[in-house]
Amino acid sequence: MESIFKDLLRLGPAALVLKAILAAFFAIGLLLAFILVRRTYRRWYFARRDARVYEVRQNWDAIISGKIPYDTWRRNSFERRIVETVAMDAFEAAGPEESARLLKFLRNSGLIEKLIFEARHHTGWRRMRSLVALGRTRALEGIPALAEGLRARKLETRLAALRGLGRSACPKAAEEILDWVSEKGLKVPELPLQGALVQCCAERPQLLLPHIQRAKGHVREVLGRVLGEVATPSLAADLLQFAGDDLDELRAAAARAMSQSQSALAPYVLDDLARDPVWFVRLRAIVSLGKLSDHRVIPSLLRGLKDSNRLVRLRAAEALVGLGTEMAPIFEQVVATHDRYGLHAYLTALENSNLKSKLEVELQATTRVDEEAKKTLQAVLQTGTLPAQKKRTGEESIPETAAP
């Protein structure tokens, strides 16, 4: 051994290189050993977990009914996590009765209280996991803990709490989110906030109104987009105030809410909104005009056929086809617009509704026009081309590219 060290000393600087090589081999050996041990452990862990999951699945009804005492699995963190995961996954496909049964099980077993405790006292990924899981339970008692998560310092925790509140789809959760936004402003990206509010406000969209009236700037724009998604006909009277608002989303929300309004003002308000400079406001107004099923809206829908936006033209055509009136007079007016884009939209709506043959029968039987005009209309219906003698330069609309 002494001779070996003497030989190394004679090498001089080369001895350092040899030591470095030996150290590298040793480190590589340790790394390979760690990888091997880790893979062995993970293989064992997942095999054990799969076996336990299978056992839980086989005895699931007995577990949630309490026939198998909760203490047999609740005190073991490994088994408790498995039962909790299976219960959360079952929520996704459960109907109302099964959801109520699962929620009762989570309460009786104490899992809800445990998730609430973890959501309030844990940190990092454990708290985020608990916040999301708590939202998946849709338990009302978990909403205060989720609301506390909205005021956390870390963005990831705030997003987890927001996701949890959104999964609850509860008006009470909407109130917490709206109060937090009104107090703190936009502390999370817009899309997650909009998604959570759409889910929570779908049942009671009127919750948004007082917050929109008080909000300013970018917050008001976000809330306006949410209102545009969840507005219902029951809000028609309340949303009339937004028909002339500067915010595009609020005008679109007003147009959507008036789709089934019984107010005598609805056709006139929607007619004004159908002339809006913003394409999606016009689109919402045209769709709502079609849902009114009122003969007074026909001029507005015919004007929509000449709109510069393709989607607006298609919805106007679908509304005209779906009015349930005689189609021959309407088709005559469509041809009289001398707009080939509007004509194509109307013919497309006819084909999609399988009503083209019905229009052919009506054109053959109509006595409103002379034979020559009747033949012209039939030719237009068959060829999809306007008669050349009726085309006048400058009357065809030049469509813009449809907005996404």
Burial class (CB in 10 A: 0-12, 13-18, 19+), 303: middle
Q: What is the dihedral of CA 321, 324, 325, 329, to 10 degrees?
A: 10
In contact, 228 and 201? CB cutoff 8 Å: no
Q: Which residues of 25-35 are buried (b: 16+ CB within 10 A; e: fewer)?
A: eeeeeeeeeee
pLDDT in tens, the chain (404 residues): 556 555 555 655 666 777 778 888 889 999 999 999 999 999 999 999 999 989 888 998 898 888 888 888 888 888 888 898 888 888 888 888 888 888 899 898 888 999 999 899 888 888 998 998 888 888 889 999 999 999 999 999 999 999 999 988 889 999 999 999 998 888 899 999 999 999 999 889 899 989 988 888 888 888 888 888 888 877 877 877 888 888 888 888 888 888 777 777 888 889 999 999 999 999 999 998 988 877 888 899 999 999 999 999 999 999 998 887 788 888 888 888 888 898 899 888 888 888 888 888 888 877 777 778 878 888 888 888 887 654 444 444 444 434 43
The span from the CA of 192 to the CA of 164, in Å, is: 11
Delimit the domains of the chain by residue range.
Answer: 77-153, 293-404
The span from the CA of 245 to the CA of 197, in Å, is: 22
Tokens of 21: 């090589």
In contact, 289 and 256? CB cutoff 8 Å: no
Please report, as a single letter, which amino acid is at residue 207: L
Q: Which residues of 122-158 are buried (b: 16+ CB within 10 A; e: fewer)?
A: eeeeebbebbbbbbbbbbeebbebbbebbebeeeebb
Tokens of 306: 């000449």
Burial class (CB in 10 A: 0-12, 13-18, 19+), 68: middle
- Whole-model pTM: value is 0.71
Instruction: Determine the angle formed by the axes of helices 155-168 and 190-201, rounding to 10 degrees.
Output: 20
Please report, as a single letter, which amino acid is at residue 232: T
Q: What is the pLDDT of residue 11?
A: 57
Going from the C-alpha of 231 to that of each of 60, 208, 258, 285, 289, the distances in angstroms are 41, 10, 9, 13, 16
Instruction: Determine the angle formed by the axes of helices 217-230 and 190-201, rounding to 10 degrees.
Output: 40
Q: What is the pLDDT of residue 5?
A: 53
The span from the CA of 331 to the CA of 368, in Å, is: 12
